[in-house]
Amino acid sequence: MTLLTTWPESGPGTTVRRTSEPAEIAAALAPLGVRYEQWPVREDVAADADSATVFAAYGPEIDRLNAEEGFTTVDVLGLHPSDDPEYPVKAKAAREKFLQEHTHDDDDEVRFFVAGSGIFYLHVNGEVHAVFCEKGDLLGVPRGTTHWFDMGTSPAFTAIRFFHEEDGWIGSFTGSPIAGRFPDYDTIAAGYEQDRAAA
């Protein structure tokens, strides 16, 4: 289940919006040009499934989106806790890569979560929209949108990535310290789990 939290860009002192209703999330993000939709979850696909398995499971949805948007490259990216002694180093490096505000000038950032979760923070029109995405969620952030992404201190996700340009994922960093003013993935995820347990 997704969670959208919106604050003023000045900081999280006031919450403008907080909802986990998919229709409300889609309606709130649509005026920003952000695509949000949910795909059927294939429960038989393991969280750390390889690319071939993921492509086979989500082939119809991938084909539909490619036809609608004209993507030329699709791949699968995954990062999961393991016994690999390099995991902490890889996880920290992966997290820090896009934890600061940036844009993608040459392509949209479109991700479908096969497993796990992550948060996209969209800084648009004087507000910050934190979109907590979980398996089954697809988010499309238009090129040029200032944003950052947090996968937490122990990343665990598999995502399908869609590109119009082969190097479209490269970020142009704004140098703004804004990301440090807002709750990170670990904080939001912990609060969200408490809310769901209490519901």
> Annotated binding residues for Ni(2+), as ranges?
102, 104, 109, 147
C-beta pairs of 23-31 under 8 Å, 24+ apart in sequence: 25/131, 28/4, 28/129, 29/4, 29/122, 29/129, 29/131
Q: What does DSSP assign to residue 83? A: S
Rounded (10°) CA dihedral 189, 193, 195, 199: 150
Could you tell me which residues are annotated as the binding site? 102, 104, 109, 147
Q: Give burial (CB, 10 Å; 0-12/13-18/19+) of 160.
A: buried
Q: How far is CA 194 from the centre of its chain?
A: 21
Distance separating alpha carbons of residues 31 and 28, to the nearest angstrom: 7
- Comparing CA positions, the residue from 178, 69, 182 lying closest to residue 132 is 182
Could you tell me which residues are annotated as the binding site for Fe(2+)? 102, 104, 109, 147
